[in-house]
Structures are given as structure tokens and as C-alpha cells.
Structure 1
């Protein structure tokens, strides 16, 4: 976590010359974050997104869209697109996940606010020139399972064609309903990307991959969290809260879409976490795999996921699921 060599000059040009730069965090991508402290100006966050691997322009576009709609995304204080550097408003250190680990009594109130933000967000028009979260994109994501998980778990020769046919059999209703009324989908809306700000509001992070998609997707991301346990009871309560406040009339179809998107997202995450281990040298993600498998198994109980569940029952034995990762 050494700051990029270009950071001091960037900060000087931004009016933050002489500021101290301290490591803050990395994430599952190539982005890195540093806290910048200036004796006069206070604190800010430096995002380092190497242009060879990352493009900061989608982050800027979505941040500006969210701010214009009165959502709490970090204000962009300075930018250098050629170097992949952004200076951002500092939201502090109170991520929802660690806060709830210390004070579980706040869980319901925080999740209620997070759900209400989604209800509000989904009433706003989409940003201009935003790509759809298409069937092709979803299929590309679930391909991470045979490409990475299957190899790491030594599943042998599996039926890739049957894997994709199973998803294609489940997609049609979901895709049709998504195309009727797409909303802005932030795609990584969960406790570790939500910040509790000084005024008690929730700040939004990690939205650069946003697309136009189904309103249930970010709800799944929030309530079926790979990084912390959300009880089935709270999940049920918050799902009902969203449907009530959003005025969902066809609740049966919405819940089917929610469970299908849950299966898609969680199977994708199984592949992503395996890739982070094998390719990127980040083995700590392996400890999250049993929780993700628990979510997948819950998703599979819904009839909409029957063709996908049947494929998994045939090709992924029980000892290659959650229990497999305890020995890695």
C-alpha cells in the first residue's frame, strides 16, 4: 500500500499540497484507497485506479448522477483521468458491517434505511447512456463458476453446455420483466459498501459497475450478503418492506425474480472468490465460501431455480460445496 509516485503532484495541483497520505484499504479489484490529511483542509480519500486495469469514468458518472438525485455518494474533489487518480470526500470509518459487529441492536433500523434508499433510487430516471444488465452479461458472470470454481474444486469434466442451458431455461420471465421497467442497479450494495455518516445518513460506495437492471438485484445484494449473516427473518421482513413501499403488485413474480437473481449472484460470487484466491493471491476470500453456499442452497429451494438446482445436484457433490473450503 505505497501511494503512487504521481500522488504528491496530483494533490499539489488539487490544492492539497503537503498533505499526508496514509494507507486506507484495497478491494477485490485493482483499486486502492488512501486517506489524505491536510492540516488546513482536513481529510479526503485518494482513489488509485491504475488505468491499465481500471477506468474511473464510470465511477465519476454514477457518483455525479447519485449526487444530483440527492443520494450520498462521495463528492469528487479532484480528478486525473490519465493517472487514474480521484480525490474524494471522506465518509469516515463507520462501515455498516463493522458497526453492526459491535452493535447488533442497530441492525433493523440500518437495514430499513438501506431498503428505503433502494425504493427511492428506483423511482428516479436512469442515467443517460447506461448499459443494460443483459442476459448476456448475467451468463458471462455465472461462467465464472465452471471457469474457476469447477477447476479449483477438481470437479473433473463437467457438462458446460448443460450448465448454460439450465440458466437459459430460467431466464425468460426475469429478462422480460427487467426490460419492462429497468432501474439503476449499483450491483454491490451491501453492508461493507454502506457508510454511516456523521448525520446518521447512509453513504454509498463501490458503484462504478452500475447497470440498468431488475429492482430485486440490489435487494439481493443487501439481504444475501456474502460477508455477514442476515437472518432469514430479517431478509423476509426487508423484502416485504421493499415490496410494500415500492408498490409491487405481482409479488409472486418479484419473489421468483429475487431468488433467481440470488442464485445468479451467489453462483457468480463462488467463482469470483475462487478467482481472487487462485489468480490474485487473496486467500482470505475462501473463508466466505461456506456462507455463499448456504445462500445458494436457499435460492435453490425456489421452483424458479429448479433447472439450475438439477444441474448442480448432478455435477457438484455435497463434499465439493461448503465443506470443501474448510480444508483449503
Structure 2
């Protein structure tokens, strides 16, 4: 079904469901998925967001279930006003147009990230049984994500051919990051917690794009936020903010976390995420024709270089990827 046909069907559904005569839809954005977002006016004059989320590719039921569960736990998420799961149409609360990314600066970063980290702590304090059913970020899940790098960055983008796994000790890297992830305490994990998935609405920070939430390691959302693929900060600020998180988190921990243990968790969990992200950025280009995400590849590679340089057991991977990273900076 073409975009125009789906847009017309979305308009008709909104008109019937919300008793609005032919609401005028103004596209506000698409994203890395196949979803499209439109703003329109309700009968009372307020605005809302209509979402075209094709059911063949999007997790619409999960989005609705998780949104309702998070809202019930007083976590800030957009309210779902109406949903047609079979058609892939949603109507959600309008949170405005201000993403965290747009208001971050050297002057505002420390306070805004403190608020975002407090939101992670609040999310992680939620009991599993109080949330919608979610997958576990287990060994198989971790490896599936790492394989995205192998399939799309190494093979589709680099066309590296056979033997690259041995040259970079790919299996050793997979084993090391998996071990660091699996030994952590597990909690609700947003899985894409960064500056483009947090909105500021009337001074409150609100989570969006949470339909892929899983039960996973506590460091994941923290490193997603602080080593964001789209915006980078000085190491001193990142270290300070990590400590801010640990200070907030300490009240919920049975035992303290040794600084060296935490740093390894943070680094290697981030490495897994950034390696996956490199594969996703290339997949978005090669498969979906979305080239804009290539702009994030150099910064993401820089994070990979920083972490692999720091750990002796990752030197083979560091030496293999270093010349590759230079080509993306050119």
C-alpha cells in the first residue's frame, strides 16, 4: 500500500474514531523505522499526533502495552489516545517538538543529563511483573545484535570477504562483551535511550520510542545516553555523569559496585551497542535507502576505537578496525 493510500486511510480512521471531519494531517517526521508521524487538531482545539506504523514491520501492540504499563507506574510517556493495531494506526498525545538533542549545550548538559539519568533509575526500579511482557537480553539476543555488524557493516559495507573474523578475533570480542553484559544486574531497559528519544514537554523529560524495551543490563541505557551516537561530550563530563547515576542508583542496589567493575560494564556494554549501531546505520542505507544515518558512523567508530584501545583482550579488533575508521573520517 502506498504512503498516500495509507495516509488517506489514517485520516478516515481518525475522522471516524475521534469524530473529526477530515482532519488535516501535517507530517512532522519519519524515523529510522517505517513509521511516519503527523500532527492534527482535535475537536477541542488541542493537537495530537497520528502515527502511521505499518503492522508488517512495527511493534504496535507492544508500544501500546508498554505505554500503558509505564504510565501506570507514573513514568513519563505519551498517552495513547486511540489505536487500530490491525491497520497500524495510532493516535498519541502531542508532546511538542523539542527533543533533548536540540537543547543540549555545554551550559545545559550537566543538568539535563542528570534529569535523564534520574529517569533511567526510576525505570530500572520498576518491577518486571508491573510491566508488559518483554524479552530477555540474553546470550542469543546479544549475539543477534552483534551479527548485524557482521552482516551489514563488514559484509555489505566493507565487502571484507572471508577471514575477517580471525584477523580481528571476532569471537573473542563477542565473548568479552557478552560476559560483561550478562554479569550485571538486570532491570527494565529502554534499549534506545538517547537524545533523540527524549522529549521536553512543559519542563518534563518524556520517553518515546520504547516499543523495543527488554529486560537487560543496567549499564545499557546509561551508556546509550552518555555515549550517544549523535552527540559526544568530553570524557570528564561523561565520568562525572556516570558517578551521578551510580549515586542515584545506590539506594536500589543490594551491594555496591566497584568502580573498575562498573567501568568495564559501561565500556563493553557500550561497545556492543555501538558495534550493533554501525551495522544498523549501514542497513538503513543499503536496504532502506536512508542515507542520513551514515553521518553518525564516524562518531560511533570513535567510541569503538576508544574502548578497544583500552582493553588488552580487544587489541586484535582495535588494530583491525583502526584503518577502517580512518577511511570514514576522510
TM-score normalised to structure 1 length = 0.90
Give the SS at the match of 1:183: strand
The residue aligned with 2:119 is 117
Deviation (angstroms), 1:228: 1.1
Matching residue within 142, 152, 159 for 1:154: 159
The residue aligned with 2:188 is 184
Instruction: Measure, in 2, the Cα distance between the counterparts of 1:140 and 1:224.
Output: 22
Deviation (angstroms), 1:169: 4.1
After superposition, residues 96-175 of structure 1 pair within 5 angstroms as 96-100=100-104, 104-126=106-128, 127-151=131-155, 152-160=157-165, 162-175=169-182
Deviation (angstroms), 1:324: 2.0
Instruction: Measure, in 2, the Cα distance between the counterparts of 1:33 and 1:297.
Output: 36
Deviation (angstroms), 1:246: 0.8
Instruction: Measure, in 1, the Cα distance between the counterparts of 2:153 and 2:138.
Output: 23
Residue 93 (str. 1) matches residue 108 (str. 2)? no
Instruction: Measure, in 2, the Cα distance between the counterparts of 1:89 and 1:193.
Output: 15
Q: Spell out, residue by residue over 1:180-233, the C-alpha distance to the aligned partner (whole angstroms, 9 max, x if none).
A: x421100111111111111x1101111100000011100011001011122212
The residue aligned with 1:295 is 303
Deviation (angstroms), 1:155: 2.6
CA contact (8 A) 1:77 1:87 kept: yes
Instruction: Measure, in 1, the Cα distance between the counterparts of 2:100 and 2:173.
Output: 36
Residue 226 (str. 1) matches residue 229 (str. 2)? yes
CA contact (8 A) 1:223 1:235 kept: yes
Q: What are structure 2's unaligned runs of at least 5 residues?
A: none
After superposition, residues 177-216 of structure 1 pair within 5 angstroms as 177=184, 181-198=185-202, 200-216=203-219
Q: Spell out, residue by residue over 1:35-67, the C-alpha distance to the aligned partner (whole angstroms, 9 max, x if none).
A: 122352411111111012112011111111211
Instruction: Measure, in 2, the Cα distance between the counterparts of 1:128 and 1:206.
Output: 15
Give the SS at the match of 1:34: strand
Deviation (angstroms), 1:16: 4.6
Deviation (angstroms), 1:83: 0.5
The residue aligned with 1:267 is 275
Q: Spell out, residue by residue over 1:232-288, the C-alpha distance to the aligned partner (whole angstroms, 9 max, x if none).
A: 122111100111111161232222111111100001111111111111111111111
Deviation (angstroms), 1:99: 2.0
Say what the alpha-carbon RMSD is for the aligned residues: 1.9
The residue aligned with 2:35 is 31
Q: Spell out, residue by residue over 1:294-320, the C-alpha distance to the aligned partner (whole angstroms, 9 max, x if none).
A: 1111222443xx44442342x43x332
Instruction: Measure, in 1, the Cα distance between the counterparts of 2:315 and 2:9.
Output: 50
Runs of 4+ in structure 1 deviating by more than 6 angstroms, as ranges, are none
Give the SS at the match of 1:184: strand
Residue 13 (str. 1) matches residue 31 (str. 2)? no
Give the SS at the match of 2:28: strand
Instruction: Measure, in 2, the Cα distance between the counterparts of 1:105 and 1:301.
Output: 30
